[in-house]
Structure 1
Amino acid sequence: MKNNKQHNKLPPRARCLTPREAEDFYGISRRALKRAWQDRRLPIYKLGHRSVLIDVRDLESFLARCRVDALRV
């Protein structure tokens, strides 16, 4: 029988980045990323003691929430 709890499955690896990959691709420091996931503002997948994966969709959502619009003059 198929498990209907699809939301609990880890997404495919192609959509996940290591913190180093996220740092290189998005230009965000590892310190800022770590602070965001420790403050529970950025969801992560923790595999074992040290391995961390970040879903690209979660990272882009986090960045969108951090956006500050310019003032209109």
Structure 2
Amino acid sequence: MIGVWEIVAIVFVIVLLVGGKKIPELMKGVGKGVKSFKEGLNGIEEDVKRSGTSPKDSADSGAKDGASGDKTAE
């Protein structure tokens, strides 16, 4: 588990590498990235709810369809 001193050391290294003035800009970019990621996940969940199937069910049915299609092609 990460302790307090490890976090302090990591923050110190980040300040040295990036600079104190750039940290707010860096955190703003990270926040936008996290927000975009969450919006993408919500979009996927809505698509799954609309279709009425789980992603695992969709993958299984796709694999079965592909396997049966190969047998008829031979």
Q: TM-score, normalised by structure 1?
A: 0.26
In proportion to residue count, which structure has more strand? 1
In proportion to residue count, which structure has more helix? 2
- Which gives a bigger RCO, structure 1 or 2 (Cα 8 Å, sep 6+)? 1
